[in-house]
């Protein structure tokens, strides 16, 4: 079957190879470095030299009265409050309680803690700590977020055991990636308008291909209910992009695991087949109880539209994004529907489109099975 990929989708990630997969793998004090050197405090106004590498002071997160300097990946330094950071993270609290810290490397007279996190990710995390609170990430919040900042806070929060951050991120992820059918499938919008509306409803700036990274983040945070929809979004990506991954803010490449890549390939085939079957299912379910021209509409449905659709099913392809869109809002409309729907009375045309929504809702409830993942929230009886 010819497979159609929607090139008009807004694109925009997966686990980098150095991500810590399990918090139990972290040996709290040995996994990070409080570097012991003489406190000669060699400094410049905008950078510190150490082993020939310039450490840049962050332009925003350098608080003049901060009590600890966090150096990310040997590149960027953030001066923040020790008490605030320790109050949310037991890992940082233990690091800063190291008795050797006061005699270790100093920067502007303040002790330095070195970590191996990407500066971009740590900046997102510290921004929420130093300025707004983590409850601005809560799913009911209208505080606008980028997906990159949400993912960074989730990963850094998990690594440093910041439960308030992890809880806020998982709640926001579940709201976006586990939409109920009544909100997603029953919408009377095209795919593009629906996608834009859903991002606005969640105050989240995200591209379709961010789902590649989101699948890995969802697995890291152990929220399987969000996986089916995230994998479905992955299946909308260009197949080469799906295979090779996408570049993250920190320059790393986010890729799906081999297992999840296989799930996307197989799931997209299931969706393509189900999408072709929606029109035939809707025609077969018609009651025509309020038909205004029964002698005209019945032959149009049974003799023309149904046969034309069956004849064109092998050659005709649909964007996978349209599987959950009403027939009359698809772009393009199925060939047989476009050819003959204008000959139906208004009641029959509306009933046909309503049955297509019923079929789409059933497919949505089968996403977890289509992508071979377990989900406690996506269960239901299917018409297919």
* Domain map (residue ranges) of the chain: 263-370
**Are 153 and 169 a contacting pair, CB within 8 Å?**
yes
From CA 166, how far away is CA 172, in angstroms rounded? 10
For the cut 90, the answer to whether the pLDDT of residue 158 exceeds it is: yes
Query: pTM for the complete prediction?
Result: 0.74
Q: What is the pLDDT of residue 53?
A: 67
Pull the structure tokens for residue 224: 């399987």
Residue 27 pLDDT exceeds 90? no
Mean pLDDT of 155-170: 94
The mean-pLDDT minimum among 27-36, 129-138, 304-313 falls in 27-36
pLDDT band for 170, please (50, 70, 90 cuts): very high
pLDDT of residue 26: 37
Q: What is the pLDDT of residue 376?
A: 45
For residue 375, the model assigns a pLDDT of 53
Look-up of token digits 């010819």: 2
Query: What per-residue confidence (pLDDT) applies to 290?
Result: 87
* Average pLDDT over the chain, rounded to an integer: 82
With bands split at pLDDT 50, 70 and 90, how would you rate the model's confidence at 315? low
Share of the chain above pLDDT 90, in %: 58
* pLDDT tens-digit map of 258-293: 999 999 999 999 998 888 889 999 999 999 888 989
The number of beta carbons lying within 10 Å of the beta carbon of residue 254 is 22
Nearest Cα residue to 154 out of 223, 256, 207: 223
Q: In this predicted structure, what is the pLDDT of residue 184?
A: 86
CA 370, CA 368: separation in Å to the nearest integer? 6
Residue 136 has a pLDDT of: 67
End-to-end CA distance of the chain: 19
pLDDT band for position 233 (50/70/90)?
Answer: very high
């Amino acid at each position: 079957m010819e497979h159609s990929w929607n090139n008009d989708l807004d694109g925009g990630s997966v686990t980098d190879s150095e991500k810590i997969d399990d918090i139990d793998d972290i040996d709290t004090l040995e996994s990070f470095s409080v570097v012991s050197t003489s406190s000669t405090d060699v400094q410049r106004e905008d950078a510190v030299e150490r082993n020939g590498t310039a450490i840049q002071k962050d332009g925003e997160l350098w608080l003049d009265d901060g009590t600890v300097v966090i150096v990310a990946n040997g590149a960027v330094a953030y001066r923040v409050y020790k008490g605030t950071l320790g109050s949310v993270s037991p890992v940082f609290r233990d690091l800063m309680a190291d008795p050797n810290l006061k005699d270790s490397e100093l920067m502007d007279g303040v002790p330095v803690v070195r970590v191996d996190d990407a500066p971009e990710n740590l900046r997102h995390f510290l921004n929420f700590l130093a300025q707004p609170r983590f409850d601005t990430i809560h799913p009911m919040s209208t505080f606008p977020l980028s997906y990159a900042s949400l993912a960074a806070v989730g990963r850094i929060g998990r690594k440093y055991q910041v439960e308030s951050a992890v809880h806020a991120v998982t709640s926001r992820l579940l709201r976006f990636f586990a939409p109920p059918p009544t909100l997603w499938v029953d919408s009377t919008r095209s795919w593009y308008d629906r996608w834009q509306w859903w991002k606005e409803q969640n105050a989240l700036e995200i591209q379709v291909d961010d789902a590649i990274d989101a699948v890995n983040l969802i697995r890291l945070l152990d929220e399987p209910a969000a996986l089916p929809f995230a994998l479905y979004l992955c299946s909308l990506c260009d197949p080469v992009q799906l295979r090779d991954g996408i570049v993250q803010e920190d320059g790393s490449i986010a890729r799906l695991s081999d297992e999840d890549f296989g799930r996307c390939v197989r799931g997209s085939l299931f969706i393509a087949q189900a999408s072709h079957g929606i029109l035939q299912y809707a025609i077969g379910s018609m009651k025509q109880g309020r038909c205004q021209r029964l002698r005209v509409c019945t032959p149009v449905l049974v003799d023309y539209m149904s046969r034309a659709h069956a004849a064109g099913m092998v050659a005709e392809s649909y964007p996978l994004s349209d599987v959950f869109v009403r027939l009359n809002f698809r772009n393009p409309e199925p060939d047989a529907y476009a050819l003959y729907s204008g000959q139906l009375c208004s009641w029959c045309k509306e009933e046909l489109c309503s049955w297509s929504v019923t079929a789409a809702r059933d497919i949505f409830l089968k996403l977890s099975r289509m992508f071979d993942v377990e989900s406690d929230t996506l269960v239901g009886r299917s018409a297919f």
